[in-house]
Structure 1
């Protein structure tokens, strides 16, 4: 009998055991999050300052639900990064299904936001409520990335909870490998949304 597993319930150890997923040890594997990042404009910084202010005001009255995170923080970032415009296409709540080779288990789930470019997955975004740890969201994001139908191309991911942001990269040639960026957070001084937007813009140029 086939067992259905929800993507939100998978762990890193499960993905390592069942899919052979490995951490990429080579620092050159994921340079896209820190090398050759584009500058952002003064107007973009002002807009991102307002986004941070809006979020910090929101957290004064918890609980902060996932939809609020997407509306207040994620949507402005995607807009500024140009992902609502050609040549990109946004899909939301996209269903995925991964069947293991023995077909005894199937992982199912729904991707919060999927950014496509010419039918290639560019970015898988998994957002969580503000109280949710990214450590719990990362396995779910990686499970979705493993479902990428274009194994010859790397796929990038972003997990967020409104306060924290972390980028992922996964390749599927031979052995599936992944790496993570540093974590960016709104709880520090300054505004690390600047770096988040810059990375999103860099990823947006990769397939164009």
Structure 2
């Protein structure tokens, strides 16, 4: 009898994700170049918009922990808009259901992804800001499970995990052996330059999946 399990319950650690899906982390500079190489320049107008975004976030964050929906409104949605994800040829799906059937056919992993962009090639996982004690790393195992549900395994997929304070990018490929790697953590509290870099990475990923 097939058993349905929530992704958040079944995949709690990186070891869980790697074991269940046969994932291997590739710590090579040549695998995930999109987060540090060939980053596009951003305009002064974009920098001004990012400065406003950061001030708003820090203002609201100063009142205490932020719920997931507030992080989406203050950080994720403005960033996706600036990066061009709301414009052609991209399509947005919010809170999309994800279902992943394991090879043995006896277990189905089910969950909901916060934002799904363009043919399942870019996924966003948003945490509540109260989870900053674990940083964005705490959502990486579940994000990897969502990326493995990509119905186009011949294409690389990218993910962004954020709790507002921190942003982390992921790249995963499924050709032959499933492989993945992570960017460094970008911290919004550190400086304005961190937010500029996040937008540059997002723009670089839009180019990678649209070309």
Q: Per the shorter chain, which TM-score range?
A: over 0.9
Deviation at 1:104, TM superposition (A): 1.7
Partner of 2:128: 129
> Where in structure 1 are there 5+ consecutive unaligned residues?
none
State the Cα RMSD in Å: 1.1
Shift of 1:205: 1.0
| Contact 1:3-1:106 within 8 A present in 2 as well | yes
Distance 2:64 2:171 in 1: 32
Give the TM-score of the pair, scaled to structure 2: 0.93
Partner Cα distance (2:206, 2:191) in 1: 27
Q: Does 1:159 align with 2:158?
A: no
Q: Post-superposition shift, 1:92?
A: 0.7
CA distance in 1, matches of 2:27, 2:206: 25
Selected match of 2:89 from 73, 87, 90: 87
Equivalents in 1 of 2:27, 2:61: separation in Å?
37
Please state whether the residue corresponding to 1:191 is helix, strand or coil: helix
3-state SS of 1:8 partner: helix
Secondary structure in structure 2 of the residue aligned to 1:38: coil
Match of 1:59 in 2: 61
Instruction: Map 1:177-188 onto structure 2 (within 5 A).
Output: 177-188=179-190
Is contact 1:52-1:191 (8 Å) kept? no
**TM-score of the pair, normalised by structure 1:** 0.95
Q: 1:99 aligns with which of 92, 98, 101?
A: 101
What residue is the counterpart of 2:8 in the other structure? 8
- Given candidates 65, 69, 72, the residue that maps to 1:70 is 72
Distance 1:135 1:8 in 2: 14
Deviations 1:25-73 (A, max 9, x none): 3221000111110000001101101111111111122231000000011
The 1-side partners of 2:191 and 2:122 are apart by: 28
Q: Gaps spanning 5+ residues in structure 2: where?
A: none
What residue number does 2:50 align with? 48
More strand by share: 1
- Closer, same or farther: CA 12–5 of 1 in aligned 2, 3 Å: farther
> What are the superposed Cα offsets for residues 102-138 of structure 1, whole Å, 9 maximum, x if unpaired?
112111001100110xxx3231000111122312111
Q: Contact 2:16–2:141 at 8 Å: present in 1 too?
A: no
Q: What's the secondary structure of 2:143's corresponding residue?
A: helix
Q: Does the 8 Å contact 2:50/2:196 carry over to 1?
A: yes
C-alpha distance in structure 2 between counterparts of 1:182 and 1:163, whole Å: 14
Cα offset, 1:189, TM superposition:
2.9
